[in-house]
Structure 1
Amino acid sequence: MSDSPQPYRVLARKYRPRSFHELIGQDAMVQTLGNAIRRGRLAHAFLMTGVRGVGKTSTARLIAKALNCIGPDGQGGPTIDPCGVCEPCKAIAEGRHIDVIEMDAASHTGVDDVREIIEAVRYSAVSARYKVYIIDEVHMLSKNAFNALLKTLEEPPAHVKFLFATTEVNKVPVTVLSRCQRFDLRRIPAELLASHFTHVVEAEDVAAEPDALALIAQAAEGSARDGLSILDQAIAHAEMGEGAPLVTAAQVREMLGLSDRGSVRRLLGLLLEGQTAPLLAAVRDQYALGVEPLSLMRGLLELVHAVTLVKAGRDIATPGQSAEEREAIADWASQLGFAPLHRLWQLLLKGHDEVANAILPIESCEMALLRVMHAATMPDPGEIARMLREGAPAAASAPAAPSESPSGPSASLPASFEDLIEAFWQRGKGQLAQELHDCVGLVRYAPPELDYRAAPSLASDFAARLTPALREVTGVAWRVAQADGPAAPTLLEQEQRKAAEERARILETPVVKAAMEAFPEADLDDRLEQWSA
């Protein structure tokens, strides 16, 4: 009877790093760790942090092997290049070494679980050089569990090493962080992931288009495990070629619900040209092909970002980028200014968030793109300010209106000084609003111009802070000047004068006047003034 076939192992497990040489994208950490091992400067606790799938737990197991490897001849010491053939290396790789204990903190969060560790560390390793505790997702431990671990973590026995892994290092107490040697594992670059996937498909005897692997690497967002899981799915989804599956870029896009770059470029072109009907038709065509509306918005955001970087002088060429795409991006970068590009980004970003939370995603996508299209033709705040100063019409198609007197406030700006202060309060600029109220005597208010007299208590940098804040609150550039001419009292002075007049009026009423004569030591309560007002 023939042996039963080996069960299939998913790629993420099959290609888990077995040595530090196979750990991709973490060269700085490997070099630091290698130097520490060679110089005998080993910490008693290590903390690996980073996003999912970058190799935190794999690194912890590799460190355990590096510390306990005895070499093929049984005489070796700690090494950054564990042999992989000695009994400790094989037992640790297979997860059966009695002195390497792994614990998932997500399911062992309590203080009792930590007490078991504290009790066990007192005993020497059974067969290894070091007793190693690997605690995954350590941030899930309770506060009491962390507190119970602190003393042991600070002064553990010489034969014990702690290896922690977490995706949320901000949830780990500072008292624990200060007792560990921390390694921040970085997101793996897409180019490095694509190269790694090339070796994987070759080892799996699978054919794959380079663009397909590039798409998978981008979708992985820096995670080797996520990328291998997507690759596993793509291989299962692929059609059989001549004896081997063939993973194509078109199949990966269909599987992930992605739009191809050419379609995204056509959409952006229609958007910038203001072609409403063709734009809506193109969106619906992509939706019919299975492209998710959110993916469509993300593709447009990535393209606008690329154009902006090229505009700023950065080279963004990648191996998988076509000549047509480079040419289109360069063309847009030469034609569009930074202001329209920033406006496009903000509008698309707002649309992306709306689509992500929408009950009707495709309809929300269409409405968001229509808003982008029409807002793109609007003048920016600087242009609006110029139009206001020169009395120009708001739009080229509108008939020319007679220019208003520069002293008349614009209908689009706060009509009064009090309205301006209220606008500052509403935009969260309370300090400036208070200074305008208490310390500014108005000489002339003719938006977008403001002349004022400053009270002695007003800070010297007031004008420097006020001018940009006015532009932020109203969207228009203002001319602000300090004048020496006649000025109205500050609003605070006006309120105080009004309160004094009201107080005098109340004191002159017959009832209050008689009461004050009867009780000479009495005084008028402010609450009575407020009630009367």
Structure 2
Amino acid sequence: MSESPQPYRVLARKYRPQRFADLIGQDAMVQTLANAIRRERLAHAFLLTGVRGVGKTSTARLIAKALNCIGPDGQGGPTIDPCGVCEPCRAIAEGRHIDVIEIDAASHNGVDDVREISEAVRYAAVSARYKIYIIDEVHMLSKAAFNAVLKTLEEPPAHVKFLLATTEVQKIPVTVLSRCQRFDLKRIPAEALARHFAHVVEAEKVEAEPEALALIARAAEGSARDGLSILDQAIAHSGTSGEGALVTAAQVRDMLGLSDRGAVRRLFGLLLAGDAPGVLAAVRDQYDLGVEPATLFVGLLEAVHGVTRAKAGGGQDPALSMEEREAHAEWAARLGFATLHRLWQLLLKGHAEVQAAALPIEAAEMALLRVVHASTLPDPGELARRLANGEAVPAAAQASGGPAPAETQPALMAAPHPAPEPPARPAPPASFGALVELVNGQRPLLGQQLHDFVGLVRYAPPELALRPNRPLPADFIRDLTTLLRNLFAEPWKVEISDGPAEPSLLDQQKSAENAARDAILATPVVRAAFEAFADAEYEGYTPPETAAEARSA
């Protein structure tokens, strides 16, 4: 009787890491564990966190192997490089070791499940060096279950190790986090995933285009398991080449509903050129091929991001093809950062609209037409500068929504009226008194302070030295300097000086009034009037010209 064939194992299980060297992109964690094992400084509990498919459960099983490996001769100890041939290593790899217990916290999340663990840890391991509990998706435990396991987790027996794995570490109580040695498993870079998939297809005797593997690696979003599942599907979807399958980039795009990278670059070029009919035709072509509008916007956003990185000198994505790198470099040389950031915001808003729209393809067309219209407009900063300087401004877009041909479309439109000349600035007054009057007309309070509270030391525009005869506000000099600069369009130097100064204008005015009064009182007529009338008082003097003007008014 012939032996029945082995059932097919999916690639994600077949190529699960069996050694620490097989882990992709987790070198820092492997180095830490190697040092801990070599120095016999092993924690009693490990917490492994990261996105799906980066190797949390596989790492937990590898740690279980490393701690329980006895070597081919049965005399070995804990090692970062388990042999894989001894009975503990093989039993753990096959999931049948009695002392390595894997628990799914999603279905065993109650207090009773945790109580069973707390009671079982008291007993020594049956055949292994350590009894190891691997609790997957530990964040699914209930609050009561977490509280029940705290004491056991903090002080387990020496023969027990806990390995906790989760994708949502923020849901785990801090009291649990503080009792574990935490390892954050990183997303696997796309180029590393592509290299790994190349080894897998070689082992599977399957041919694959490098661009196809790069597409799968990008679609995996840092998850090896997701990528291997997509690769498994791509191999089943592929055609044949000789004796084996051939995975092509076109088949992968068709399978994933991705847009052709070349089609995205062509559409991006049409957007930059402002070709509305071409953009609408390209979008409909991709939609007819089965590409979702939201996926098309993702491709355009990736293109803008790639061009911006190339312009900023951030390096190119190794997963990009040579054609994409050359196109990004060319656009980066022609486009400014302001244009790229504006494109990013417009496409990002369009992507959100398409995802929420009842009519996705129509929403995509409207959003891209908005980008086309924006491409014909000048940069807002440049437009503001031209308007301020009275220069010509770019012409508006055609009523059809797209620009006219380059040979017929006017690039600039003359301003309808020349910019008005700025008003002429007055020259500084010849005297300090005239300056005070000018300041009083603009800032009455500042003018009064300048008139009443300071004496003039030096007036030589644009320099002004003053000596205060009473305390001034703290912002007096600043406000006066700013006002003079605005009035005369030149910087003024206003300072406080201790040098000899004239009396303030107020004191000068009072002195003049007193001198005029004394002169009037000294006239013979006024002296005779005071002698004839002992109770007479001086009330002031109005010149005849002023009195006549008052009567006529």
Question: Quick one: distance in 2 between partners of 1:174 and 1:385?
Answer: 54
**Structure 1 position 319, deviation (Å):** 6.2
Aligned to 1:137: 137
Q: How does 1:201-220 map to 2 (within 5 A)?
A: 201-220=201-220
Asked if structure 1 preserves the Cα contact closer than 8 Å seen for 2:190 and 2:319, the reply is no
Q: Report 1:81-120 matches (<5 A).
A: 81-120=81-120
**Pairwise CA distance, 1:326:** 2.7
Partner of 1:412: none
Equivalent in 407, 415, 421 of residue 400 of structure 1 = 415
1:10-33 deviation line (CA, Å, top 9, x unaligned): 110111111111111111111110
1:318 aligns with: 318
Q: Does 1:344 align with 2:359?
A: no
Distance 1:264 1:51 in 2: 29
- CA distance in 2 between counterparts of 1:314 and 1:147 reads 47
| Contact residue 109 and residue 142 of structure 2 kept, 8 A | yes
Give the distance between the partners of 2:29 and 2:389, measured in 1 at CA: 61
Sort the Cα spacing of 1:327 and 1:4 in 2 relative to 1 into closer, same or farther, 3 A: same
Question: Identity over the aligned pairs, expressed in percent?
Answer: 75
CA distance in 2, matches of 1:5, 1:80: 35
Deviation track 1:262-314 (CA, whole Å, cap 9, x = no partner) reads 11111011000001101111111111222222221111111111111111123
Query: 5+ residue gaps in structure 2?
Result: 397-412, 423-445, 447-472, 476-480, 486-553
Distance between the aligned counterparts of 1:327 and 1:215, measured in 2?
18
Coordinate RMSD, CA, aligned: 2.5
Q: For residues 212 and 204 of structure 1, what CA distance do their matches in structure 2 show?
A: 16
**Quick check: 1:294–1:355 contact (8 Å CA) kept in 2?**
yes
- Is the 2:139–2:172 contact (alpha carbons within 8 Å) kept by the matching residues of 1? yes
Question: CA separation of 1:162/1:402 partners in 2, compared to 1, >3 Å: closer, same or farther?
Answer: same
Match of 2:355 in 1: 356
User: What amino acid is the match of 2:163?
Assistant: L
* Residue 317 to residue 19, structure 1, CA distance change in 2 (3 Å): closer
Alpha-carbon distance in structure 1 between the residues aligned to 2:44 and 2:57: 17
Q: Which residue of 1 aligns with 2:150?
A: 150
Equivalent pair of 1:393/1:401 in contact (CA under 8 Å): no
TM-score relative to the length of structure 1: 0.74
The code of the aligned residue for 1:299 comes to: G
Q: 2:317, 2:142 → 1: CA distance?
A: 47
Alpha-carbon distance, 1:315 to partner: 2.7
Is the contact between residue 12 and residue 225 of structure 1 (CA under 8 Å) also seen in structure 2?
yes
Contact 1:389/1:406, CA 8 A, preserved across alignment: no
> What is the identity, as a one-letter code, of the residue corresponding to 1:92?
I
Q: 1:78 to 1:277 in 2, by over 3 A?
A: same
Q: So what's the TM-score if we normalise by structure 2?
A: 0.71
Bigger Rg, structure 1 or 2: 2
Within 5 Å, give how 1:106-255 maps onto structure 2: 106-255=106-255
- Return closer, same or farther for 1:317/1:231 CA change in 2, 3 Å cut-off: closer
User: What is the alpha-carbon distance in structure 2 between the residues aligned to residue 88 and residue 103 of structure 1?
Assistant: 19
Q: CA deviation at 1:379?
A: 3.3
Distance 2:50 2:319 in 1: 27
Name whichever of 274-283 and 390-399 sits farther off.
Answer: 390-399
Could you say what secondary structure the match of 1:78 adopts?
A: coil
1:394 deviates by 6.3
| C-alpha displacement of 1:142 | 1.4
Question: Aligned partners of 1:50 and 1:39: how far apart in 2?
Answer: 26
Q: Give the aligned partner of residue 415 of structure 1.
A: none
SS in 2 for 1:31: helix
Deviation at residue 145 of structure 1 after TM alignment? 1.3
Q: Secondary structure at the match of 2:132?
A: strand
Alignment of 1:403-442 (within 5 A): none
**Distance in 1 between residues matched to 2:317 and 2:143, nearest whole Å:** 48
**SS in structure 2 opposite 1:153?**
helix
Rate the CA distance shift 1:255–1:482 in 2: closer, same or farther, 3 A: farther
Does the 8 Å contact 2:66/2:79 carry over to 1? yes
Q: Determine if the alignment matches structure 1 residue 29 to structure 2 residue 29.
A: yes
Between the aligned partners of 2:123 and 2:357, the Cα distance in structure 1 is 58
1:188 Cα deviation after fit: 0.8
2:359 partner letter: L
Change (3 A) 1:406 1:185: farther
Distance 1:457 1:102, change over 3 A: farther
Q: Distance in 2 between matches of 1:62 and 1:81?
A: 9
Offset of residue 389 of structure 1 = 3.1
The runs of 5 or more residues in structure 1 that have no matched partner are 408-442, 444-455, 459-480, 486-533
Q: Is the 8 A contact 1:343 1:376 kept in 2?
A: no
Q: For residues 132 and 103 of structure 1, what CA distance do their matches in structure 2 show?
A: 11
CA deviation vs aligned residue, 1:232-262 (integer Å, no higher than 9, x gap)? 0001001122111111111111111112221
Which residue does the alignment assign to 1:305?
A: 305
Q: Aligned residue for 1:295?
A: 295
**Secondary structure of the corresponding residue to residue 315 of structure 1:** coil
